């Protein structure tokens, strides 16, 4: 019987690495939840051009650096620039452009004055006189409609001049380059944007979309075959006869496999018949990257798994672990191309099956899927609200709930029996408190090591 830490090291050292043949390309939306398989390098700066971080006015900083409510600066507004519009004018000294959040900064501007620190004023513009008085009559003609003399060489300006102009009084000096998002401030094209080994979530999808990366290299999802062994088992759809037990393990493990990012392959219930079990294991090994079987790994007359694994050519690395619940656990490898297949024979008791998965199998799935970090079991120190008891002979795991309150974790033990066959009080479990080997009790209020269960 191996100590838990020794078994963990052996198991984690067996995890094969994914290779180039395990990569595939998916579209942007399909990449959610997948593991990135190669670096992503963007071809665009972010931002792609200087733009405003606020609604306000684009100005020359030199015009407004010394202004105040007592000494305001007046600037003429020559253009309005909403987001998505290309500026039409360069900003000269004494000028400003009305600008909105995300809009492109006009040439010449190097600061943004927010609208809350300005006062808008509208002034009338003088109307230009199209007709000209002249002392010479040689170049004058008479307009037949108005009967007025005019010089035909003096034509009206083809660009209409507005009757009013807007001016702003700047009442507060901004900081230099304040509220200006400079080109490439967030990301420079050609550098690594995302590194392989991360799980792609909503933030990563936003980043990929922003640089127009729509074809994403990811690792293929692992296939995990799940089979239950035992003549006493029936599926949830079948009527329950005396002496029979509903197979809850296959469904619970399938949900956990999917939650870990892999694809469950349900192989069904296999009777306690060596020939049938051998064929089922061989099929599962052929189809999957990891095989999970429940039951048949203890030392009873109907526990055939270890013998059949050896007959099929597997190398058995672990046969039992000093953990409660979950002592009878077999871990083996099958030689495969291009990588070995991992086999986990875990106990059939429902709580034992789930604790074994959370403690050993889930980290294996995460790392083998290509996750570079945060694949290991996640531990915290909590203070228990309940008195915790164990026999001290094995590392004992007690299920319950952990909450973060006032900056520290509090663990509450699930009520009812903590028998490995009682799955009823597993509902809403999000943590397992560990009572170490040699310890028989942890009083309420004391610190306890807690394994967090991913939700």
Q: What is the pLDDT of residue 170?
A: 95
Q: Is the pLDDT of residue 299 over 90?
A: no
Instruction: Give me the domains of the chain, ranges plus CATH numbers.
Output: 4-17+221-368 (3.40.980.10), 22-45+199-219 (3.90.105.10), 51-181 (2.170.190.11), 379-452 (2.40.340.10)
Omega before 319 cis (within 30°)? no
Which pLDDT band, with edges at 50, 70 and 90, does 154 fall under?
very low
Q: Which two tokens stand for residue 346?
A: 């875990």
- Tell me the average pLDDT across 377-389: 97
Lowest average pLDDT, out of 230-234, 363-367, 379-383, goes to 230-234
Tokens of 118: 């300005």
Contact criterion met (CB below 8 Å) for 129 and 135: no
Whether pLDDT at 151 is above 80: no
- What is the model's pLDDT at position 446? 97
Predicted confidence at residue 113, as pLDDT, reads: 96
Least Cα distance to 108 among 122, 123, 88 occurs for 88
Determine the Cα–Cα distance for residues 46 and 125; give it in Å rounded to an integer: 41
- Cβ burial of 263 (10 Å; 0-12, 13-18, 19+) is middle
Give the pLDDT band of residue 146 (cuts 50, 70, 90): very low
Query: What pLDDT does residue 420 have?
Result: 83
Distances in whole angstroms, Cα of residue 65 to Cα of each of 40, 58, 71, 96, 172: 41, 13, 11, 14, 8
Q: What is the pLDDT of residue 177?
A: 79
Q: For residues 170 and 178, what is the distance between their CA atoms, to the nearest angstrom?
A: 15
CB 74 within 8 A of CB 58: no
Instruction: Give the three-state DSSP class for 367.
Output: helix
Six token digits for residue 208: 């990929």
pLDDT 10s digits, 401-449: 999 999 999 999 999 888 887 888 899 999 999 999 999 999 999 999 9
pLDDT grade for 300, boundaries at 50, 70 and 90 = low
pLDDT in the model for residue 304? 80
Cα–Cα distance for residue pair 355/143, rounded to 1 Å: 101
What is d(CA 362, CA 360) in angstroms, rounded to the nearest whole number?
6
Please tell me which residue, 272 or 380, carries the higher pLDDT value.
380
**E-assigned strands of 230-348?**
233-234, 245-246, 263-270, 290-294, 315-320, 323-324, 328-334, 341-346
User: How do the residues of the chain divide into helix, strand and coil, expressed in percent and rounded to 5?
Assistant: 20, 35, 50
Kindly give, in sequence order, each residue whose CB lies less than 8 Å from that of residue 320, ignoring residues fewer than 6 positions away: 1, 2, 327, 328, 329
Mean of pLDDT values over 121-149: 54
Model confidence at 112: pLDDT above 60: yes
What per-residue confidence (pLDDT) applies to 142?
A: 54
Query: Per-residue confidence at 139, pLDDT binned at 50, 70, 90?
Result: low
pLDDT score of 260: 96
Pick from 34-38, 149-153, 163-167, 238-242: least confident: 149-153
> pLDDT class for 164, splitting at 50, 70, 90?
confident
CB 360 within 8 A of CB 5: no
Contact at 8 Å (CB) between 355 and 302?
no
Query: What is the distance of C-alpha 338 from the center of its chain?
Result: 30
Q: For the CA atoms of the chain, what is the radius of gyration?
A: 37
Average pLDDT over residues 364-389: 96
Cα–Cα distance measured from residue 304 to residue 295, given in angstroms and rounded to the nearest whole number? 9
Q: Tell me the percentage of the chain whose pLDDT exceeds 90.
A: 79
Judged by DSSP in three states, 446 sits in coil
Strand partners of residue 408: 405
Asked whether residue 145 carries a pLDDT value surpassing 70, the answer given is: no
pLDDT in tens, 59-95: 999 999 999 999 999 999 999 999 999 999 999 999 9
* 122, β-bridge pairs: 166
> What's residue 296's pLDDT?
75
Contact present, 31 and 216 (Cβ < 8 Å): yes
Task: Dump pLDDT digits (tens) for 214-225.
Answer: 999 999 999 999
How far apart, in whole angstroms, are the C-alpha atoms of residue 404 and residue 417? 25
Q: Over range 260-287, report the average pLDDT.
A: 94
Structure tokens at 429: 């479990």
Please provide the average confidence, as pLDDT, over all residues in the chain.
90
Give the confidence band of 136 by pLDDT, cuts at 50, 70, 90.
Answer: very low
pLDDT of residue 159: 47
Residues 80 and 117: beta-carbon distance below 8 Å: no
Question: For position 422, what pLDDT does the model report?
Answer: 84
Across the range 39-44, mean pLDDT stands at 92
């Amino acid at each position: 019987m191996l100590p838990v830490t020794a078994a963990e090291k052996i198991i984690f050292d067996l995890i094969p690495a994914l290779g180039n043949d395990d990569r595939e390309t998916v579209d942007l939306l399909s990449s959610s939840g997948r593991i990135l398989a190669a670096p992503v390098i963007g071809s665009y700066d972010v931002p792609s051009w200087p733009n405003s971080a606020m609604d306000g006015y684009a100005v020359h900083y030199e015009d407004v650096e010394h202004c105040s409510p007592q000494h305001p600066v007046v600037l003429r507004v020559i253009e309005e620039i909403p987001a998505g519009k290309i500026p039409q004018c360069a900003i000269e000294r004494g000028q400003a452009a009305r600008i909105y959040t995300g809009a492109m900064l006009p040439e010449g501007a190097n600061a943004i004055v927010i609208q809350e620190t300005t006062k808008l004023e509208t002034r009338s513009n003088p109307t230009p006189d199209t007709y000209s008085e002249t002392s010479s009559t040689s170049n004058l003609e008479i307009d037949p409609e108005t009967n007025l003399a005019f010089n035909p060489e003096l034509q009206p300006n083809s660009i209409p001049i507005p009757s009013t102009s807007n001016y702003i009084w700047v009442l507060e000096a901004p900081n230099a380059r304040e509220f200006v998002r400079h080109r490439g401030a967030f990301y420079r094209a050609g550098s690594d944007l995302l590194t392989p080994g991360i799980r792609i979530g909503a933030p990563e999808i936003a980043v990929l979309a922003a640089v127009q990366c729509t074809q994403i290299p990811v690792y293929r999802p692992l296939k995990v075959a799940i089979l239950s062994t035992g003549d006493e088992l029936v599926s949830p759809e079948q009527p329950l006869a005396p002496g029979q037990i509903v197979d809850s393990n296959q469904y619970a493990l399938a949900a956990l496999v999917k939650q870990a990012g892999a694809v469950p392959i349900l192989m069904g219930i296999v009777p306690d018949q060596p020939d049938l079990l051998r064929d089922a294991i061989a099929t599962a090994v052929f189809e999957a990257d990891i095989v999970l079987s429940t039951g048949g790994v203890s030392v009873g007359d109907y526990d055939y798994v270890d013998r059949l694994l050896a007959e099929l050519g597997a190398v058995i690395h672990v046969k039992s672990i000093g953990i409660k619940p979950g002592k009878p656990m077999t871990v083996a490898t099958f030689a495969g191309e291009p990588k070995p297949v991992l086999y986990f024979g875990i106990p059939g008791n429902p709580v034992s099956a789930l604790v074994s998965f959370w403690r050993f199998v889930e980290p294996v799935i995460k790392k083998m899927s290509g996750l570079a970090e945060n694949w290991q079991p996640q531990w915290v120190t909590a203070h228990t609200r309940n008195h915790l008891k164990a026999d001290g002979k094995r590392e004992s795991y007690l299920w319950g709930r952990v909450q973060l309150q006032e900056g520290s974790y509090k663990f509450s033990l699930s009520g009812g029996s903590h028998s490995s066959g009682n799955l009823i009080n597993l509902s809403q479990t999000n943590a397992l408190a560990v009572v170490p080997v040699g310890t028989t009790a942890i009083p309420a209020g004391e610190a306890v090591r807690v394994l967090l269960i991913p939700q």
